[in-house]
Structure 1
Amino acid sequence: MTLKHTPLYERHVAAGGRMVDFGGWEMPVQYRSPVEEHHAVRRDAGIFDVSHMGRFRVEGPQAGEFLDSLVPNNVLGLVNGKLLYTQICTPDGGILDDLIIGRWSATEYGIVVNAARLDHDREWILSHIGAFDCRLTDESTQTGMIAIQGPAALARLAPFTTEKLVEMKPFRQVRTTLFGHAVALSTTGYTGEKGCEVIAPNDVIKVIWDKLTEAGFPPIGLAARDSLRLEKGFCLYGSDIDESTTPIEAGLAWTVKPNGRPFIGDRVVLSQLESGPSRMLVGFILEGKGIPRHGYGVFAGDELLAPATSGGYSPTLDKGVGMAYVPIELAAEGTSLAIDIRGRRVPIRIARRPMV
């Protein structure tokens, strides 16, 4: 299979990035030590190529009404320049993907979806437009996307734009200029730190990347991106959430805002919202040595509860951390369980998400 490349591929290779297959994309897993890259973002700032993610535009008089019918969150409650995190669900409440929706105007919305679900999501959304007066445009191949993340990210970026970045609240978006080029900028990210994500045409995104590296922003690979999101307890589609899990089970009840309207999957999702789920996605921290991985068994005594959905090393805590679905009666913070790491049972403690 021929791997796909983002507009920034040559720059990753030139910078010494170790390239790997990531869902059909050849992407940099690291440039130097993943722990060093992780700390750079937690303590200062770094940049990520996230151009592999899908970018759609939905336009038309009924764009808002259409999107509002698809997702559990309240799209019609958005005002211009605001975004929300939500999911698209099956009729049975399973998560088909998690995504970001932003409103530019009453007739124009942007959507960012996961790379592995891009084709599926596009066709699924198109199949549900029906009589709604709106249209979808896939801009994924015409644009690139960079995430600038870290506690110092916005302050360091501020001199290169006319926008007052440090005053922008999370989940806001603007059309502005960066390094003199027109971009769409949103205060979003996947690290749990302050920062933003920038979308621009492919030729412009290359210039933006070059300017950022010249300004001293280090490039960060996929390994650090995963450890950063894991510390914050952010879900990874295909591991922590999928069609077999619901938003309520995944601890995403805060994204479900029915407001008396129907949406796809509402029967199951609203029932769980009212009565509670039988299981819950929880974070955990190892109390012994070892690194948990996806698929390792989580135990209560001799009873196998479930496989870990995510696991890895937390550079911030200097401990192994992970996530797993456990029965609701065992989901309380501080509950003691164990995880099997290559035949050795290691004690774990249920931790509140985020874990850092």
Structure 2
Amino acid sequence: MNAADTETGSAPAHEKQVAASGRRLSVAPMMDWTDRHCRVFHRQITRHTWLYTEMVTTGALVYGDVERHLRYDEVEHPVALQLGGSEPADLAKSAKLGQEWGYDEINLNCGCPSERVQKGAFGACLMNEPQLVADCVKAMRDAVTIDVTVKHRIGIDHSEEYGFVRDFVGTVADAGCRTFIVHARNAILKGLSPKENREIPPLRYEVAYQLKREFPELEIIINGGVKSDDEIALHLEHIDGVMLGREAYHNPWTMANWDARFYGDTAAPKTRAEVLAAMVPYIADQLAQHGGRGLKLNGITRHMLGLTTGLPGARAFRQMLSDPKKLASGDPRLLLEAASQIRSL
């Protein structure tokens, strides 16, 4: 099944093998942000960082438009599909679809605290049912041969008892999960918005460190509040990987040195100008294929506004890529015109 878009070409096999060698660094799944266009853009900056889809619910795959939710470009590898759900059979079907479409990993969301997700009985509230999560993991592992991983919080509401997350990880690990992505904050299920849940509960990285000490055979990846390469390096002294979210999205050039520093890649990274130039034919092709189905120029360029953060002319760059009249032209060369506003690309 040739499910992924291949119009921009796939990465050479040897590059995929290198890229898939470890989840030392990854970009978090973020609703409305890490769509397939965002991931193609991020892949121009870093060859080896793991990329994650937005959360896709099992209902969307079992009853909805599979192609719409799972279509991606081969250049995105290594790329993981994050699922939201709590019915083992539906998760197994969805995971199998993910593998058939060529994803490198299936990740189960046990960390989202939004009320909408809670009404679906999945996300962070699943941490209160570790045996159900274990059953879900087992069902998915029985259905696929790729990695099944879990992303979760360190606690629910205001309890800071380490035993809660330790028992959750232990129970799910017994079902065969070897990789846990630990958002090092509690999830407050009532009274805080998703945004507040990313900011108000205190970060407790030491909990993730303790999980690694107690479960040395597991891959423990930390998430939450990380903003710099030096912070990444400090975390990697204690755990196996680091996942960045908002910082990677709003300041994507922070990823430019990751391949060299954290993966030992000696190949020269693209410059910002080369990143923008690489996106022009991709955008033209996507608009030609999917423009009739509602895709607009700003549906892709919106992910690129932070590329020039900190450079002289960055404001003019953002304004040009946000100008409704210019965007209405649908001309991907607008990227190059915007780039001309920057004096040191």
TM-score, shorter chain, exceeding 0.5: no
Larger relative contact order (Cα-Cα within 8 Å, sequence gap ≥ 6): 1
